[in-house]
Amino acid sequence: MRKVAVTGIGIVSPVGNTASEAFDNLMEGKSGVGRITADFAKQLSTTLAAEVSLNMSDHFSLKQLRHFDRTTQLALLASEQAWGDSGITLSDEERESSGVYIGTGLGGAVSIEEVSYQLFKKEALRISPLSVTKIMCNASASHISMRYGLRGPCLTFSTACSSSAIAIGEAYRLIKAGLADVIVAGGTESLITYASMKAWESLGVLALEDEDAPAASCKPFSKDRTGFVLGESSAMVFLEEMEKAKKRGATIYGEVVGYGSTADACHITGPSLDGQVRAIRQALAEASLGTDAIDYINAHGTATSVNDVIETQAIKTTFGGLAYSIPISSTKSMHGHLMGAAGAVEFVITLLSIRNKAIPPTAHLKIPDPECDLDYVPNIGRTGLNVRTAMTNSFAFGGTNAVLIVRKV
Amino acid sequence: MTTYEKIKKLFVDSLGLNEEALKPEATLDSLGLDSLDRIEFMFVLEDEFKIKIPDREVKITTIQDMVDAIDRLIVEQHAV
């Protein structure tokens, strides 16, 4: 039976622009949420976002900046980290069977907005020929494949908030099935734009601003939670067939052992207990693990009133009485809801919980909710823990659920 | 400013090219312009010189070709 190792990780996020920086900040409960500084903020009722602070012209040439949407810029930075971290050298033949699996929700959202602005507001009669290639959802995957010459399957998954968890899960299964040995997998998203913020605002799922501490506005599992804060990010992992990774002496962050993928088939935004429970059970079954094997759960934990209750019920339904003794945290409290990148960022955090023997907290959880009565690691991270096996949940609008399980090697 | 000088400035400002590489005999290929860059740059030229560049002009190979084509199009299209 072929196994799948994670041998490289990369993160560009509101809480740090390397995986270790992001994890350290999360452990300290540092939030990446702040007020949007762009002009359009004055037309929003919710002005919070979790943005990446990087000067892109330090990392890309003028030509590259014209060719890549911000989503792709983030993706290239994260994949560069993961690639470098893996320390791999691939032969030309090996590149032929190496793939790229990326998740993104909206693709080139910033570019869509720029083009719309030119057409509707500035009444431009034509727009840049680069518009299509910046906006298309598969642009990031394509640019990664081009940069590293990876000529196997190059796919993009778009299942809203679970996009990149799905991408990693599908990549894992492809390697396990013997159809590829190496895949760069992950997700990317950058949608802090006027139109996108307005659209999310209309749905009524965005956190109300905490007047005393805006950075603490997202409060998963807390009685006073009001929703999530939109964020932008990219995270990439280098997935590799285990024997190959061992043979070359690669650093192995963990082994992907289980993946669950289910659809709710009931409501376009509302979560389904049944869909979530089946996804968790599927992942456990694939990993041949019992309910006593999970040492940590990185929750979907969006801080909407409905999600946190249903997710709590799903964990209780699956794990029974054991649910009360599993540490669960929602790091979205600090890095925001990263949409298409969320699953990948949280997957990397889950891996690092094993490697660092540490569990980041659910920040801003001050008021217990009787309907959310599990151990959510409130406010203070835990260290010195032997995390052997950990799970991460991603439950999306549209009803696509993804659960990934990783194990210490 | 001559047409050549204007084109040189547009290359630097809009595509971020190195001014020293922009000799009249330099080919667009040697400057690393792919097909998408070329279309975009044609738009930039049209806006700058207030001309319409017909599709057949895409055969432009060097910067000098570009200067000649633009000078000709200005005469043709701005003559009343």
* Residue A67 falls in the annotated catalytic set: no
Residue-number span of the structural domain to which B10 is assigned = 3-78
pTM here is: 0.94
Q: Comparing A88-102, A140-154, A305-319, B65-79, which segment has the lowest mean pLDDT?
A: B65-79
CA-wise closest residue to A184 among A194, A196, A197, A172? A172
Under the banding of pLDDT at 50, 70 and 90, the label for residue A24 is very high
Chain B residues within an 8 Å CB radius of A62? 15-16
Burial of B35 (0-12, 13-18, 19+ CB in 10 A): exposed
The number of folded domains in chain B is 1
Q: How far is CA A158 from CA A104, A154, A234, A359, A384, in A?
A: 5, 14, 14, 29, 37
In the CATH scheme, what architecture does the domain A4-247 have? 3-Layer(aba) Sandwich (3.40)
- Above 80 in pLDDT, residue A363? yes
pLDDT 10s digits, B6-65: 999 999 998 889 999 999 999 999 999 888 888 889 989 998 999 998 877 667 899 999
Q: What is the CATH number of domain A256-407?
A: 3.40.47.10
Under the banding of pLDDT at 50, 70 and 90, the label for residue B79 is confident
| B 10-69 → A contacts, CB under 8 A | 15-16, 32, 36-37, 39-40, 43
Sign of the torsion formed by the C-alpha atoms of A345, A19, A390 and A332: negative
pLDDT 10s digits, A146-196: 999 999 999 999 999 999 999 999 999 999 999 999 999 999 999 999 999
pLDDT 10s digits, A188-231: 999 999 999 999 999 999 999 999 999 999 999 999 999 999 99
* Residue A161 falls in the annotated catalytic set: yes
Q: How far is CA B44 from CA A175, B9, B38, B52, in A?
A: 46, 11, 10, 11
Residue of A nearest to B11 (CA): A63
Residue B56 is predicted with a pLDDT of: 73
Chain B residues within an 8 Å CB radius of A132? none
Average pLDDT taken over every residue of chain A? 97
Burial of B20 (0-12, 13-18, 19+ CB in 10 A): exposed
Flag if B40 and A63 touch (Cβ within 8 Å).
Answer: no
CA separation for the pair A244, A255 (Å, rounded): 13
Residue of A nearest to B32 (CA): A63
Contacts of B74 (CB under 8 A, 6+ apart): B3, B49, B51
Sign of the torsion formed by the C-alpha atoms of A374, A376, A380 and A385: positive
Nearest beta carbon to residue B40 from set A61, A62, A130:
A130
Q: How close, in Å, is residue B25 to chain A by CA atoms?
A: 22
pLDDT 10s digits, A271-282: 999 999 999 999
Predicted ipTM beyond 0.85: no
Q: What are phi and psi of B45, to 5 degrees?
A: -65, -40
The letter for the amino acid at A233 is S
Q: How far is CA A339 from CA A33, A60, A251, A267, in A?
A: 15, 24, 29, 18
CA separation for the pair B16, A64 (Å, rounded): 10
Nearest beta carbon to residue B15 from set A63, A128, A133:
A63
- The CATH number of the domain where B70 resides is what? 1.10.1200.10
Residue B49 is predicted with a pLDDT of: 94
Q: Comparing A40-54, A295-309, B57-71, which segment has the lowest mean pLDDT?
A: B57-71
The letter for the amino acid at A129 is P
CA separation for the pair A192, A297 (Å, rounded): 28
DSSP state of A231: B
Residue A409 is predicted with a pLDDT of: 96
Helix (H) or strand (E) holding A298: strand A296-298
Strand A296-298 to A389-395 pairing: parallel
- The domain segmentation of chain A, as residue ranges, is 4-247, 256-407
Flag if A126 and B43 touch (Cβ within 8 Å).
Answer: yes
Flag if A133 and B36 touch (Cβ within 8 Å).
Answer: yes
Q: How close, in Å, is residue A128 to chain B by CA atoms?
A: 6
Residue B80 is predicted with a pLDDT of: 63
E strand map for A39-85: 48-50
Q: How many CB atoms lie within 10 A of CB A283?
A: 27
